[in-house]
């Protein structure tokens, strides 16, 4: 099959049948677009012409690129290429899967960065005052920390996702839904935003069911939400590394430090496997070691 047609067929499959997010689809399209461009530069225009040696050559070139790619980026690229070829073989479009022996690089295990409770409180207090966007930003930050939601999940919320009884419906990866408690502080901040700010923002744009709106009434984007987090960190004079997942990491770490069961945290985060959640237990163990070393009379 022609390369562009084979790619379109795969992207339709992961969009419709697997229900992957638009962000994930965009990453697949970017990775595989680069792969197909490389193939075409080498004179390959049909997916049936791709051999194991060709795939190996592509990965080798990408691995030795200057500057060297991050192990996580290379692993994602290999995963995209492998998924495409497996799809073509499974659907009978091609007879063989040339990536059968391809092994992903081992990504270094990095512990997620979490803020201290004091840093989180400063971050949440950063949007001060009674201006509309400050009230909205405070509601967004409180909700992210209270629920452990991904930024994409928070901006994807509809007003109707706020259920009675201080719970929230989140839509995670693969459109999977989960119900999480929201907490009194976050609920109060969100209610204040809903009654005092959102109607005015909604009047500026087209009708939208989204919970968080921008200054012109359009749904708040993931990038705009990230800018809110970064601006709050700067205002709170937090010098620790901040990422879009910072409040999510802090949520999980603080729950475990407070005695929450790892299975409960897994459910709240929406992780498919408890192994993904268990990385946060290592963060807690490090904190326990520090406390032990400074508190026990015979620790050192």
**For residue 232, is it within any domain?**
yes
Q: Are 85 and 139 within one domain?
A: no
pLDDT, position 109: 58
Q: Are residues 143 and 61 in the same domain?
A: no
Pair 60, 145 in one domain: no
Residues 81 and 126 in one domain: no
Q: Are residues 54 and 150 in the same domain?
A: no
69 and 177: one domain? no
Within-domain flag for 274:
no
- Helix axes 246-257 and 222-235, enclosed angle (nearest 10): 70
CATH of the domain at 215: 1.10.443.10
Residues forming a β-bridge with 180: 168
Q: Is residue 31 part of a domain?
A: yes
CA angle 153/154/160 to nearest 5° reads 100
> By the 8 A CB rule, do 119 and 255 touch?
no
Question: Is 288 inside a domain boundary?
Answer: no
Please say whether the beta carbons of 155 and 219 come within 8 A. yes
Residue 162 has φ and ψ, to the nearest 5°, of -80, 100
pLDDT of residue 282: 66
The catalytic residues are 150, 173, 245, 248, 271, 280
In this structure, are 126 and 235 located in the same domain? yes
How confident is the model at residue 248, as a pLDDT? 92
Say whether both 160 and 63 belong to one domain: no
Residue 75 lies in a domain: yes
Same domain, 73 and 160: no
Same-domain pairing of 234 and 140: yes
**Total domains in the fold of the chain:** 2
d(CA 114, CA 108): 18
Mean pLDDT (10-residue bins), the chain, 300 residues: 92 83 86 94 93 91 82 84 93 89 63 85 90 96 94 94 86 82 92 96 91 95 93 92 88 88 88 76 64 65
pTM for the model stands at 0.63
| Largest interatomic CA distance in the chain | 71
* Among the listed residues 145, 126, 103, the one whose alpha carbon sits nearest the alpha carbon of residue 228: 126
Last residue of one domain, picked from the residues 90, 105, 130 = 90
**Measured distance CA(199)–CA(206) in Å, rounded:** 12
Q: Are 124 and 224 in a shared domain?
A: yes
Query: What are the b/e assignments for 151-164, b being 16+ CB within 10 Å?
Result: bbbbbbbeeebbee
> Is-cis flag, bond preceding 160, omega within 30?
no
State the Cα–Cα distance between residues 273 and 263, nearest whole angstrom: 9
Domain that holds residue 226: 118-242
Residues 123 and 84 in one domain: no
At 104 the pLDDT is 61
Which CATH number goes with the domain that contains 33? 1.10.150.130
Please tell me the predicted confidence (pLDDT) of residue 43: 94
């Amino acid at each position: 099959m022609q390369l562009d047609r084979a790619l379109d067929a795969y992207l339709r499959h992961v969009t419709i049948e697997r229900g992957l997010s638009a962000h994930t689809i965009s990453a697949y399209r970017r990775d595989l677009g680069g792969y197909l461009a490389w193939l075409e530069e080498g004179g390959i225009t049909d997916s049936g012409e791709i051999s194991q040696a060709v795939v190996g050559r592509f990965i080798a070139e990408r691995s030795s690129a200057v500057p060297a790619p991050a192990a996580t980026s290379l692993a994602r690229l290999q995963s995209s290429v492998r998924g495409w070829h497996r799809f073509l073989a499974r659907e009978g479009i091609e007879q063989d899967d040339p990536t059968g022996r391809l092994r992903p690089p081992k990504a270094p295990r990095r512990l997620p960065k979490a803020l201290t409770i004091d840093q989180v409180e400063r971050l949440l207090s950063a949007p001060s005052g009674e201006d509309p966007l400050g009230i909205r930003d405070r509601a967004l930050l409180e909700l992210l920390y209270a629920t452990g939601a991904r930024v994409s999940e928070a901006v994807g919320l509809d007003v109707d996702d706020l259920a009675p009884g201080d719970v929230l419906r989140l839509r995670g990866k693969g459109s999977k839904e989960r119900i999480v408690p929201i907490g009194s502080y976050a609920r109060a901040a969100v209610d204040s935003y809903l009654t005092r700010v959102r109607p005015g923002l909604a009047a500026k744009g087209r009708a939208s069911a989204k919970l968080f709106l921008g200054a012109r009434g359009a749904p708040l984007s993931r990038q705009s939400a990230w800018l809110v987090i970064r601006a709050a960190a700067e205002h709170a004079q937090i010098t620790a590394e901040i990422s879009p997942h910072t409040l999510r990491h802090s949520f999980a770490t603080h729950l475990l430090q407070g005695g929450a069961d790892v299975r409960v945290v897994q459910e709240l985060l929406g992780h498919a496997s408890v192994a993904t959640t268990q990385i946060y237990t290592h963060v807690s163990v490090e904190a326990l070691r520090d406390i032990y070393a400074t508190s026990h009379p015979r620790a050192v």
